Chains A and B, each alone.
Chain A
C-alpha cells in the first residue's frame, strides 16, 4: 500500500457522523478484505488490498477503468479466488471465500451486465432470489402440497413486498427481456433483496441510466439501507452519486488501494485527484 495516505480516517468509528438523521445506524465491522492479491496470468488485478465494511453502512468502491473494482467485488462473494489474502466475514476467515458460502450467509449481489432470466417474468425472477430459503422437497413443490404450498405462499408474500418496495407492480407479469434497461436493473436489485441479505453488493447499479433513473435508483439504495438496515457495498462511476450516498469510500487504482475514508476526505486526497485528473508534468 504505497499511496494510502488518507487511510487512517477509516479507523475511527465516527467517520460517517456527517450523515444527519441516521444516528447509531452504523455498527461493528462485519467484513474485512485482508491483503487481497489477485492475478490473471501476468496481470495483477488487485495487489495487497485491505479494507473493511461496517454493519449498516453504505460503502463505495471507486476508481478509474481497470482499477480492479469488479474483481474486488467478485473476490468478496467468492466468484474469483485470489492467490493471496482472505475474506473475514461475520467472525470467520475464508481463504478463499466460496460463492455458496457467501450466498448462504447473506451476501447477495447484482451484476454490472444484467444477469436476469430474460424470458421469465419480473415476479419469477425475483422469486429465484428466495431459492436458498426453500426447504421443501422436489416432490412437495411439484405437487404443491405440505411445505411446498405453505412456503410458496410465504415466499410470494415476501416477493410482493419487494415488488411493492421497488414500485414495479406494473411490470409484475412482464417478461424482463421486454423491460427497459433501467427497470431491468431494478428487477435485479429486487432479486438480490428477496434473499434478505445482510450484505448487498451492487456492481455499477447506475451504469447506463439516464438522470431520472439514476435518481430513482439512488432513492431505492438509500431506502434499502434505511428500511431494511442492509449493509451495502457498491461500485459506481458517477461521482455525484457516490459522494451523496456513501458513508465511506475506498479508492482503487491499478489494483492498489489509493485512499480510504469519508467522501470529503477522499475528495480532497491529492493521490485521488491525481489518479482521476492526471498529474501535470512541467
Chain B
C-alpha cells in the first residue's frame, strides 16, 4: 500500500429543501421546525388494532412537550441518562426527543438482551431513569434493580400485566403525561426554555457498541455528530419529507438511530413502527417504504423464503420464474446501473418485470424502494446481485457507531458487490501500513463514556478512528473490506486465512445459516456449519426424511452430503483466487445447535464471536484437526429465551471435503495437508 494515503469526498453544498442544521442544531429544535413547517404531515405511524394509526408532526410536538414536562416533574434533569428498552414503538422514539429536550441523554439498550446483559450498560451509564416497553422489560429491570442503586424511576409504555405492580418507582406513560399537563398549566413556557438551552456540541446519545470482544463501550455522540452525518447521508441520497421508512431494527443499533430518528427529523419523513416483531414482513408489504435498510441476514432470509416457496410451486410457474430470474441475472444489474444493453434484452426484461419481478417485489414489500441499504456485515455477491437484478436499488454501506454510521456509501450507478463504496460526504479515509482502515469526518464520536484509555486506543491524535477492519482502496476508488484486522491470520504453510471471507461464501447457500471457519496457525482450514432449519427442513420434507429436532436433522448423513457439496463448491471458488486458494475447507462438521446471542456465541447484531466459540467448542475443534477422529462429542450450556439454562449433549459427525488445485498453482493445500 506504500505510505498511508488519504481518500476524501468533498462536502456537498447545503440542500435547499432541508433545514439549516447550524441554526436548528438539536433534534428538539428540529421538532419545533417540523411542527411549524410540516405541521399536518405524518411524522410517525404504528399499526395498532389492525389499523395504521398516524401522528402528525404537530401532534408529536404536543405529545413530546407534555411528556417532557411530566418527566421533569418526576425529577429528570439536564445531564441525566435515560435508558430506553423495547421494540420500535413511537413512544420510545419520543422518549429520545423528550430526553434531549430536557438536556438528558438517551441510552438505548438492545431489547432482546437477557437481564445480565443489560446490567452492564445500565450500570456503566449510571441511568437514573428507564423508559421501557412492557412487562417483560419491567420484570427484567426489577430482577437487577438491587444492582442498580442509581436507577430511581421506571416508566412503562404498555400497562398490560404491570397494572397490579405496587412498586412506587413504577409509572405508566399515561400518568407521566398527566403530570406533564399539570406542570405545563403552571409553566407553559417550560419545555421551550429547556430546548433553547441545548447546543449542537452537547452529547445527544450514548449507544453501546455490541462488543465482539470484552465489555460494550458507550459511544458519546454529540448532536452535531449525529446531525451532520445524517444530513450528509440524506443529501447524498436525495431524501425528502415524502419518503417513508419502516423502523424495525433494534433502537439500540446506531443505524436505526440515524435512519429512523436522525434523518426522519432532518428530512421530516414519516417513520412507521410494525405491529409487533412477527408482523414485520406483512407490515413491510402494506407500507411499501421508499427508504429501506436491513442487515444482509434479512435479505438472505427473504431470498431463502422465496426460493423455498418456488420449490413448492407448480412446474410451469417454476419454469417461468427461473427463466426470467436467469434473464435478470444476465442483464438486470447492467440495466439498473444504466449501462448500454441490447434492445431485445431490455424488452425481455420489461416482460419479466410484468410477470415476475414486479409481483415478487410487491410480495416482498420492496416495490417503492428508492434507496435500500445493507450494512453491518458483508452481503453475498449472489444475494446482492439478485436484488439488484430485479430492479431494487440495494446498496452497501460501510459504517460504525463511532462514525454515526456513514463511512462509505456506494453511489448510484457505481455499485459493485465486492466493495463498500466511496467515502461518504465529508469523510476522509486512510489505510494504515498494516492495512487497517482509518476514517475521519463530521460524525466522529466525542469519546467513549468513562473510558479514556479505550478512546485513546481507538482515536489517533489527529482525529482519525481505527476501525479494526483490514481493507484497501481499489482502482475505482472504492473501499474493499477483507476482514476484521485481528481475525486475518496465516495458515502454517503461509497462506492468508480470512475467516469471514470463507464464511460468507458458505453462507450464500440457502441451506447454510451460519459458519465459523478456523485455520489460523493450523495446517488447513476447517469449519463449523449451522444448517438453516427452514431450508433444510423443507428439503427433508420433500424427500421424506423425518426428523425430530434441529439437532437430529443436523446429524443426518443425508444432510451432511448436501452440505459437503456446498463446501466443495466453495473450495472450487477459492481455488481460483490466488490469495485464498490455500484456505480451502478440508474438514467440517454441522453444529447440533444454532449459534445464539443468548448463549454469548453471537453479538446482539448477530456477528460471530470467534474467541468465545473457540473456547466453548474446543473438543470439536480438536477433533477437526485430529486426522483419526470421525466424530466428536460436546456438552454445551444453552440458555432458553426466559433466561433459564440447560445442557445440550450431542455427537457430531466429521466429514472431509474435497480440495482443489489452485488455478494459479499458488499453494497446494492437498500436499500441505497430507
Which residues of A are in contact with B by a Cβ distance under 8 Å?
Answer: 21-22, 156-157, 160-161, 163-165, 167, 169-170, 172, 212, 215, 223, 226-227
Contacts and interface: CB of A to CB of B under 8 A. Distances in A.
B160 A227 contact: yes
A226 B164 contact: yes
Contact of A170 (B163, B165, B276): B276
A172 B642 CA distance: 26
A184 B641 CA distance: 22
B160 A172 contact: no
A170 B282 contact: yes
29 contacts: A21-B164, A21-B165, A156-B50, A157-B49, A160-B50, A160-B51, A161-B49, A163-B49, A163-B50, A164-B48, A165-B160, A167-B276, A169-B47, A169-B275, A169-B276, A169-B278, A169-B279, A170-B278, A170-B279, A172-B50, A212-B641, A215-B642, A223-B160, A223-B161, A226-B161, A226-B163, A226-B164, A227-B160, A227-B163
Main secondary structure of the interface of B (DSSP, over half): loop
B166 interface: yes
Interface of B: 47-51, 160-161, 163-166, 275-276, 278-279, 282, 640-642
Nearest to A25: B164
Contacts of B278: 169-170
A163 B50 CA distance: 9
Contacts of B161: 223, 226-227
Main secondary structure of the interface of A (DSSP, over half): helix
A169 B640 CA distance: 24
Contacts of B49: 157, 160-161, 163-164
A21 B166 contact: yes
A170 B275 CA distance: 8
Given A170-B275, A223-B160, A227-B160, 6 more contacts: A156-B50, A163-B50, A167-B276, A172-B50, A215-B642, A227-B163
Contacts of A22: 164
A148 to B, nearest CB: 20
B86 to A, nearest CB: 15
Nearest to A226: B164
Contacts of A212: 640-641
The 8 closest A-B pairs by CB, nearest first: A170-B278, A160-B49, A170-B279, A160-B50, A169-B275, A169-B279, A169-B276, A21-B164
Nearest to A23: B164
B112 to A, nearest CB: 15
Nearest to B277: A170
Contacts of B164: 21-22, 226
B302 to A, nearest CB: 16
Contacts of B279: 169-170
Contacts of B163: 226-227
Contacts of A21: 164-166
A170 to B, nearest CB: 4
Contacts of B282: 170
A161 B166 CA distance: 25
A190 to B, nearest CB: 14
Contacts of A164: 48-49
A25 to B, nearest CB: 9
A197 B48 CA distance: 24
Nearest to A172: B50
Nearest to B280: A170
Nearest to B165: A21
Nearest to B49: A160
Contacts of A161: 49
Contacts of B642: 215
Contacts of B640: 212
A215 B644 CA distance: 13
